[in-house]
Chain A
Amino acid sequence: MDAINQTFLFYGYTAAWIIVLGFVLILVRRGQRIDRELSRLKSLVEDKEK
């Protein structure tokens, strides 16, 4: 019983940190995407202003 307890406790903490790390990865990828979009739009505006 205690082995099952220990295993599921480990699963619980692992799942918790996987969820948090997954969100961090989503944030990083989204950040890169919107930064690229921002610089693309800035250069477009600059080109139109010339």
Chain B
Amino acid sequence: MRDKAIYILGILGTLLMIWNLHTIFVVLPGEAAQGQIGKMLFIHVPAAITAYSYYAVAVVCSIAFLVTKNFKYDSVAVSSIEVAQVFTLVNLVTGSLWGHVIWGIWWTWDLRLTSQFMCFMLYLGYLLMRPAIAEATQRATMSAILAIFAAADIPLVVMAIRLHNVRTQHPAPVLETGGVDATWWPPLATGYFVLMLIAAALVLVRLRQETVRREIDSLRRELHAM
């Protein structure tokens, strides 16, 4: 059942992605001020929102683990964070390429970019910390606490370009202020939907591996007891 869902999500995501890429590259004209590079928005923004969606799933599951001590929640949390990291990296790399053309620099340590980089590093720390703790309950508890703690950075990323007393290099918010043309909304929404489908398929694959890993741990314990 899970394998079927992975294939359906993967194939649907790929087909929609091809259709969306055709719309972005062939149908839509370039952005009025930035030209073609403005179309980086269609991967840069959906990648960030996809990452935040899965970080949110991880936080909910981490809280659920701390309350119930059910390891299924820990598995969903680690799978979601690993996939969210991939999309955070996509967001950082595409942003850097866009910045090189528009700003003339690859990177700057302004609040938006720095807080997003911090988000990536905090959750990278989460993934690197897990193998260092051998005992399963302790590992899951520490991971859940770190996942919740790291999520405190996400509101900072979102608010970084909305605070009046902070000057940032990053553009002001365009999505909710009418800065995006009406013809750009469908490919933008489709881009987010496509990445969410692909991310869901990746989380399911990762979740299966986590289940097998738990089975391996219990077999190892069984062997030691023999």
Count of A interface residues, CB-CB < 8 Å:
28
Q: Is the CB of B37 within 8 A of A5?
A: yes
A22-39 interface (Cβ within 8 A of B): 23-24, 27, 30-31, 34-35, 37-38
Q: Is B43 an interface residue (CB 8 A)?
A: yes
Contact of A5 among B30, B212, B220, B226 (CB under 8 A): B30
Distance between A46 CB and nearest chain B CB, rounded to angstroms: 11
A41 closest partner in B (C-beta): B219
In whole Å, how far is B23's beta carbon from the nearest beta carbon of chain A? 13
Main secondary structure of the interface of A (DSSP, over half): helix
Number of residues from B at the complex interface, CB < 8 A: 36
Taking the nearest CB of chain B, how far is it from the CB of A6, in angstroms?
Answer: 5
Q: Which residues of B contact A38 (CB under 8 A)?
A: 212, 215-216, 219
Contacts of A35 in B (CB 8 A): 212
B67 at the interface (CB under 8 A from A): no
Interface residues of A in 5-25 (CB under 8 A from B): 5-6, 8-9, 11-13, 15-16, 19-20, 23-24
Q: Do A12 and B40 have beta carbons less than 8 Å apart?
A: yes
B93 and A41 contact, CB distance less than 8 A: no
Interface SS majority for chain B:
helix
Residues in B whose Cβ lies below 8 Å from that of A19: 86, 89-90, 93
A24:B98 contact, CB within 8 angstroms: no
B36 at interface, CB cutoff 8 A: yes
A15 to B47, CA, bound (A): 13
B70 proximal to A (CB < 8 A): no
B60-83 residues with Cβ-Cβ distance < 8 A to A are: 83
Given the known inter-chain contacts A5-B101, A41-B223, please indicate yes or no for A12 contacting B216, CB distance below 8 A: no
Q: Mark B171-183, 1 if CB is under 8 A from A, else 0.
A: 0000000000000
- Is the Cβ of B216 less than 8 Å from the Cβ of A2? no
Spell out A's residues near B (CB within 8 Å). Answer: 1-2, 4-6, 8-9, 11-13, 15-16, 19-20, 23-24, 27, 30-31, 34-35, 37-38, 41-42, 44-45, 48
Selected A-B contacts with CB under 8 Å, 5 pairs: A5-B34, A5-B101, A8-B100, A23-B86, A34-B216
Please name 7 further chain A to chain B contacts, defined as beta carbons within 8 Å, in addition to the given A15-B93, A31-B209, sorted by A numbering: A8-B37, A12-B40, A34-B212, A34-B216, A38-B215, A41-B219, A41-B223
